[in-house]
Amino acid sequence: MLVRAGDEDFPFCSDRCRKIDLGKWASGAYKISSPVIDPDVLEDLGLGGAGRGGGLDES
């Protein structure tokens, strides 16, 4: 089955698949393993260029 952006259930092939996916998120079967760090957000917070050390001088 070809799924198109204009389809009612996009990005899923059907409402059934949409509900199965939602159920997996709700049950914890799917999870984001690490935080998503947007460089632009870090810069807005004054933390831009922090790198692995968090931008702190540890000496």
Place of tokens 């922090």: 50
Residues with Cβ within 8 Å of residue 49, at least 6 apart in sequence: 55
Cβ proximity of 17 and 9 under 8 Å: yes
Q: Is 36 helix (H, G, I), strand (E, B) or coil?
A: coil
Residues with Cβ within 8 Å of residue 3, at least 6 apart in sequence: 9, 10, 11, 12, 13
Is the pLDDT at 4 greater than 70? The verdict is yes
At residue 59, the pLDDT reads 47
Domain locations along the chain: 1-48
**Per-residue pLDDT tens for 8-53?**
889 999 999 999 999 999 999 998 877 778 888 888 888 765 455 5
Instruction: State residue 2 phi and psi, 5-degree precision.
Output: -90, 125
Pick 58 or 42 by higher pLDDT.
Answer: 42
